Amino acid sequence: MDLFSKYKNPLLEMARKEGIYPYFHELQSRQAPEVVMEGHRIIMLGSNNYLGLTENQNVIDAGIKALEKYGSGCSGSRFLNGTLDLHKELEKEIAEFLHKEDAVTFSTGFQSNLGIISALAGFGDYILNDRENHASIYDACKLSYAKVLRYRHSDMEDLERQLQSIPQTAGILIVTDGVFSMRGDICKLPEICALAKKYGARVMVDDAHSLGVLGEGGRGTASYFGLEDQVDVIMNTFSKSLASIGGCMAASKEVCDYVRHCSRPFIFSASLTPASAACALQALRELKSHPEMVSRLNELGNYCRKAFRDRGLHIVEAQTPIVPIYTYTPKRTFIIAQKLFAKGVYVNPVVSPAAPEGECLLRVTLMASHNEKLIDEAADIIAEVVNNEKTED
């Protein structure tokens, strides 16, 4: 069989043929509540720029100053010539903010999970993985060579059943998203921590969609539940609330030191660029100085959910700025996304494998810089398109 013959994707071929291909729209302005895409004014409801800090002037100025001082890149890994004082400063402030002893930065959020999990778990260890965890966690599990057991989404009985099957001599890591990125629901962290204590497991939370969203001052899921002392490792990305690119882990000094010396994705990758590190650091300082942004973001999430319900839309009920709308089938999802784009609203179409079969979604995400008037305008357009589009594929 020709290696390349399997590259054909019938769903994408259909979408292109029928003019409903929803991906790679060109953005011609900054990430903001209103953007320019392909020459048109678009209400942006598909960005992870939760706090709206990508257009914050202090964040932009910090990136410019770092570019001028350090140049455009580090030309090496953190392990060798690629560590800047700026990286150390960023790690120190992240650790302090998250109430952990230390932190380690990575060049992307995806790489963070690869680097953390593959270093912490290996042959003979077990990883317990929520079925709806992010793809980077799944790939990290493969890289770790540990035995991976998946439990049904937020099903604590299934998690305990899996834990009971593990030999007492094995090391165990339970990994969960804090906020699940497609549905916007929050993990059952109190139950997870209780089970971890019962079975001698360690807990890692991916807070990519929780930093700046949940907890005291936006500190994330562990803070939200008052369990910071029971979560061993917190992963974060800089590409969402911190308005940059990169990621990190926060943990004990011992664990962070181990990862720095044993994580292949960390050791063999070029370090975070100076401008990216500086922007993330300044965004963190903006968050610390303005915790009201977190409250405002969640107020808008609640407002948006009500606006959608009032207009007859079937949404996934959650408590975060992620507000998914059921569209059920792939073709219907693509058609609606394309019609919305034509009418000036951008949302993210979510189909399998990111969503279960028959549960396709339009994923709406809010920013603290949105306002009620803009949400109402978008909600009217979304309701008109979704409610008038037939459900059959």
pLDDT one-digit tens code per residue, 282-310: 999 999 999 999 999 999 999 999 999 99
Q: Which fold has domain 56-289?
A: Aspartate Aminotransferase; domain 2 (3.40.640)
Residue ranges of domains in the chain? 3-54+291-388, 56-289
Task: Kindly tell me if the per-residue pLDDT of 392 is higher than 70.
Answer: no
Catalytic residue among 209, 331, 339, 370: 209
Catalytic residue among 118, 144, 154, 181: 181
Arithmetic mean of pLDDT over the chain: 96
Other C-beta atoms within 10 Å of 30: how many? 12
> Which tens digit of pLDDT belongs to each residue from 326-340?
999 999 999 999 999
209 catalytic, yes or no? yes
Give the list of residues 6+ apart from residue 295 with CB closer than 8 angstroms, or none: none
- Confidence at residue 355, expressed as pLDDT on a 0 to 100 scale: 85
CATH code assigned to 3-54+291-388: 3.90.1150.10
User: For 192-227, b where at least 16 C-beta lie within 10 A, e where not — what string?
Assistant: bbebbeebebbbbbbbbbbbbbbbebbbbbbbbbeb
Pick the more confident residue, 389 or 132: 132
SS3 333: helix
Alpha carbons 385 and 393: distance in angstroms, whole number:
16
Contact 221/192 with Cβ under 8 angstroms? no
240 catalytic, yes or no? yes
Place of tokens 């926060």: 250
331 catalytic, yes or no? no
Percent with pLDDT over 70 in the chain: 99
> Which tens digit of pLDDT belongs to each residue from 182-225?
999 999 999 999 999 999 999 999 999 999 999 999 999 999 99
Q: What is the largest CA-CA distance in the chain?
A: 60
- Confidence at residue 167, expressed as pLDDT on a 0 to 100 scale: 95
Alpha carbons 230 and 64: distance in angstroms, whole number:
39
CA neighbor of 347 nearest in space, from 313, 322, 372: 322
Catalytic residue among 87, 100, 134, 240: 240
What integer is the mean pLDDT of 311-323? 94
What integer is the mean pLDDT of 263-269? 96
pTM, whole model, 2 decimals? Answer: 0.95
Contact 45/256 with Cβ under 8 angstroms? no
- Confidence at residue 393, expressed as pLDDT on a 0 to 100 scale: 46
Pick the more confident residue, 5 or 385: 385
Contact 285/242 with Cβ under 8 angstroms? no
